[in-house]
Amino acid sequence: MRAVVQRVRQASVEVGGEVVGRISAGLLVYAGAASDDTDEDVTYIADKVAHLRIFRDQNDKMNLDVGQVGGAVLLVSAFTVQADARKGRRPSFDSCAPGEIAEPVIEKLADTIRAYGLKVETGRFAAYMQVAAVNDGPICILLDSRRVV
Structural domain contains residue 72: yes
Structural domain contains residue 149: no
Structural domain contains residue 105: yes
Q: DSSP string covering 84-100, please? A: B-SSSSS-B-TTBPPHH
The gap from C-alpha 33 to its chain's centroid, in whole angstroms, comes to 11
* pLDDT level of residue 147 (50, 70, 90 thresholds): confident
CATH number at residue 47: 3.50.80.10
Closest CA to 137 of 56, 72, 68: 56
Structural domain contains residue 88: yes
pLDDT digits (tens, 9 = 90+) for 97-137: 999 999 999 999 999 999 999 999 999 999 999 999 999 99
Structural domain contains residue 50: yes
> Is the CB of residue 27 less than 8 Å from the CB of residue 6?
yes
Task: Report how many domains make up the chain.
Answer: 1
pLDDT digits (tens, 9 = 90+) for 53-87: 999 999 999 999 999 999 999 999 999 999 999 99
Parent domain of 87: 2-144
pTM of the model: 0.95
